[in-house]
Structure 1
Amino acid sequence: MASVRPQLAAAARSDATSETSLNDIVALDALALSDAIRRRRVSCREVMQVYLAHIAQYNPAVNAIVSLRDAETLLAEADERDRQLARGDYLGWMHGMPHAVKDLAACAGLPTRKGSPLTLDAPDTQDSISVARIRAAGAIFIGKTNVSEFGLGSHSYNPVFGITRNAYDTTRIAGGSSGGAGSALALRMLPVADGSDMMGSLRNPAAYGNVYGLRPSQGRVPYGPAPEVFVQQLSTEGPMGRSVADVAQLLVTQSGYDARSPLSLAHDASLVAGALQRDVKGVKLGWLGDFGGYLPMEDGVMALCEAALGDFAAMGCEVEPCAPDFSPERLWRTWLTLRHWMVNGSLGEMYADPARRDKLKPEARWEVEGGETLRAADVFRASIDRSEWYRSLARLFERYDFLLLPSAQVFPFAAETHWPTSVAGRPMDTYHRWMEVVIGPTLAGLPAISVPVGFDVRGLPMGLQIVGRAQADLAVLQLAHAHEQQTQWVRRRLPSMLARR
């Protein structure tokens, strides 16, 4: 396809590095693409044609998008979006934009396999709350993004669709469980992506894809509809993107109260597009780092993150080390108890059936078995400990505006490895211990975004978490936006397979 109109090409150049062979359309960030469609500088059919061709070229290398729908059907839906525009019917900022839903969320017309042979290949008949809102904003659903089996583990591989690989090094992992979303974004196969996060599943893949992933405040994005809406307070859905503005706009779409999700938050009127500019001079940042050496880190992770502290200082922020008055060992015990309890509840019925149990991966069986030994008093005690952890961070926020810590403890590892058995010479006693660094914001229900902080000598990316006070999602996005303007990592470093040959 020939280069699109001069105005669009100019916008695309501003959204990509100077060393790129990208088509002008896929080079655009989501908001720029949205504007081009709304102004009819490019048709929805053109957008769909270009994206499908781009996916056909790059998806085989990473296996990020699965359950891809028929091209003829998708082009017909794009034509309908063009007809709607022609008669003045504009659905919203995602009008005509291709979108792939994380394969843990229900999307009418597509199967939700969750990476498991125990799920059905039949298409869903209704959307989840978040997906319905994305549909209402005008998106065209092209397929799903790959995940780890049932979302367990930060490596997106499963027996249904296989391994999702890293956009910067296809011999390595993309992270998880939103790994398909992260790699698809990094390779410009999607304008923006949805994901979910229980143990860093929006933050870890963002770090490994040199993009942004926000775990919103608990309740910001309504959960469900699902039978366990009152007890599911570890996982949350949220946005990923190549710019903080894109992440913020998708969060606006996903967020807001829904009566089917009784613990969901009312819409935050301050959370609107264009509210990201903020003077961050004098903002106080507490650096949690590796919790005083408690967390083992692969060589190079702390160096990159500590170098990023200099970027915040250059922005006028005040950065100093800090530590919560709460034992990290106690925090891990709390996490294990609540995680076992939740996974046992969701997968216990499958585990109870010997024929289905054999089709669960060993890590899933281990989680269920851990839940089998719990007493009600254990779960209640963990809830008390979780509350005390929240109060511990609240005390830190009396001194600091934000807290910072790495997004991962290791760089992307070999894709054929299920999980690291050791980090920095220390053995990992569970399949997810190597991601312990992400559990703090989860258990406190706080907003946390992973921002890119650069690459190691092998060209492997890393991210850093910005954690805010309870329900301070906009403030977290504002600081992340300021850091983006300071560093511009996404535009500075595209995956090599996208570079001009």
Structure 2
Amino acid sequence: MAGVRAGFSTDLGGRLNVEPEVRAVVDATATVFTDLGATVDDACIDLLDAAEVFFTQRAYDFAAWYGPSLHARPESFRDFVAWNIEVGLGLTVDDLLSKDAARVRLAVAVDDFFTDHDALVTATSQVLPFDASWDYPRSINGVPQEDYLDWMRAATLISSTGCPAVSVPAGFARPAGVPDAPELPVGIQIIGAPGRDVEVLRVAHAVEAATGHGRRHPDL
């Protein structure tokens, strides 16, 4: 990985609320990059417009795909899915125009970042794996999650960029206050410039080979 220039931002420039156990594992992975010869700094894509792009586009797509079905069979949809469809049905022309302008600004920010970086590294998920019976975590670090999408911003903000991204095992951590709990997996997300999918996979392979975290769980 010699010569790779990586921005390392576990919380995407303060835009993510990340559990301390996850942050500790992700932050520690920066050393893996430097040990492999990469140059690491704390730079991040300017994601100011990413949330608007994702939220509006997703709502529009949900309305286009599922709007008629929601009206015909509302009982078939879970509340948070129905909510997202309804948001899309309520979008105005001004909302769509604003989203398109935000997408252009975001594309410029992506280009600016990858002018002098080869990769951006962040958390894959802001939380440790949670009970499968939950719809989603209702709070992170005591901060209520306003909707189903709020807890997955590590993924949604990057989705807005159109950049290739891959998740790689980064280590393991126990939930806070549960010393006897098994260690749970934590991942890092490696993002590259649009069209640089192969380079992203090469970086991911180098990290996984160096750590060996993808081969076995410490409690097995």
Above 0.5 in TM-score? yes
Within a 5 Å distance, the mapping from 1:1-80 to structure 2 comes to none
**C-alpha spacing 1:346/1:494, structure 2 compared with 1 (3 Å):** farther
**C-alpha spacing 1:305/1:311, structure 2 compared with 1 (3 Å):** same
Report the aligned-residue RMSD: 1.5
**C-alpha spacing 1:323/1:476, structure 2 compared with 1 (3 Å):** closer
2:59–2:84 CA contact under 8 A, matched in 1:
yes
Tell me what 1:426 maps to: 143
Q: Give CA deviations for 1:476-500 in whole Å, capped at 9, x if unaligned.
A: 011111112211112242773xxxx
Equivalenced residue count is 213
What's the offset of the Cα at 1:429?
A: 0.7
Counterpart amino acid of residue 384 in structure 1:
A
Tell me what 2:51 maps to: 332
Q: Give CA deviations for 1:140-195 in whole Å, capped at 9, x if unaligned.
A: xxxxxxxxxxxxxxxxxxxxxxxxxxxxxxxxxxxxxxxxxxxxxxxxxxxxxxxx
1:287–1:320 CA contact under 8 A, matched in 2:
yes
1:468 aligns with 2:192: yes
Tell me what 1:283 maps to: 4
More helix as a share of residues: 2
1:296–1:409 CA contact under 8 A, matched in 2:
yes
Tell me what 1:234 maps to: none
Counterpart amino acid of residue 215 in structure 2:
R
1:398 aligns with 2:119: no
Counterpart amino acid of residue 471 in structure 1:
G
**C-alpha spacing 1:494/1:346, structure 2 compared with 1 (3 Å):** farther
1:318 aligns with 2:35: no
Tell me what 1:350 maps to: 69
What's the offset of the Cα at 1:393?
A: 1.5
Measured in 2, the distance between the counterparts of 1:408 and 1:388 equals: 25
Measured in 1, the distance between the counterparts of 2:52 and 2:164 equals: 22
1:294 aligns with 2:7: no
Q: Give CA deviations for 1:263-316 in whole Å, capped at 9, x if unaligned.
A: xxxxxxxxxxxxxxxxx1121100122133331111211110111111111101
Q: Give CA deviations for 1:226-263 in whole Å, capped at 9, x if unaligned.
A: xxxxxxxxxxxxxxxxxxxxxxxxxxxxxxxxxxxxxx
What's the offset of the Cα at 1:415?
A: 1.7
Measured in 1, the distance between the counterparts of 2:46 and 2:204 equals: 26
Which of these residues, 188, 204, 215, is aligned with residue 491 of structure 1? Answer: 215
What's the offset of the Cα at 1:459?
A: 0.8
Secondary structure class of the residue paired with 2:194 = coil
What's the offset of the Cα at 1:359?
A: 1.6
What's the offset of the Cα at 1:397?
A: 0.7
Measured in 2, the distance between the counterparts of 1:292 and 1:477 equals: 24
Tell me what 2:179 maps to: none
1:387–1:444 CA contact under 8 A, matched in 2:
no
Question: Percent identity between the aligned chains?
Answer: 30
2:50–2:161 CA contact under 8 A, matched in 1:
no
**What 5-or-longer segments of structure 1 have no aligned partner?**
1-279, 497-501
**What 5-or-longer segments of structure 2 have no aligned partner?**
175-181
Secondary structure class of the residue paired with 2:136 = coil
Measured in 2, the distance between the counterparts of 1:326 and 1:456 equals: 28
Measured in 2, the distance between the counterparts of 1:294 and 1:440 equals: 9
Measured in 2, the distance between the counterparts of 1:490 and 1:288 equals: 22
Measured in 2, the distance between the counterparts of 1:282 and 1:473 equals: 17
2:47–2:106 CA contact under 8 A, matched in 1:
yes
Counterpart amino acid of residue 283 in structure 1:
V
Q: Give CA deviations for 1:417-449 in whole Å, capped at 9, x if unaligned.
A: 111111111111111210011123311211100
1:390–1:443 CA contact under 8 A, matched in 2:
no
Counterpart amino acid of residue 345 in structure 1:
A
Higher RCO (C-alpha under 8 Å, 6+ residues apart)? 2
Secondary structure class of the residue paired with 1:489 = coil
Secondary structure class of the residue paired with 2:109 = helix
TM-score normalised to structure 2 length: 0.91
Measured in 2, the distance between the counterparts of 1:492 and 1:412 equals: 17
Counterpart amino acid of residue 293 in structure 1:
G
Runs of 4+ in structure 1 deviating by more than 6 angstroms, as ranges, are none
Measured in 1, the distance between the counterparts of 2:164 and 2:218 equals: 27
Counterpart amino acid of residue 18 in structure 2:
M
Secondary structure class of the residue paired with 1:491 = coil
Measured in 1, the distance between the counterparts of 2:219 and 2:88 equals: 41
1:415 aligns with 2:139: no
Counterpart amino acid of residue 397 in structure 1:
F
Secondary structure class of the residue paired with 2:190 = strand
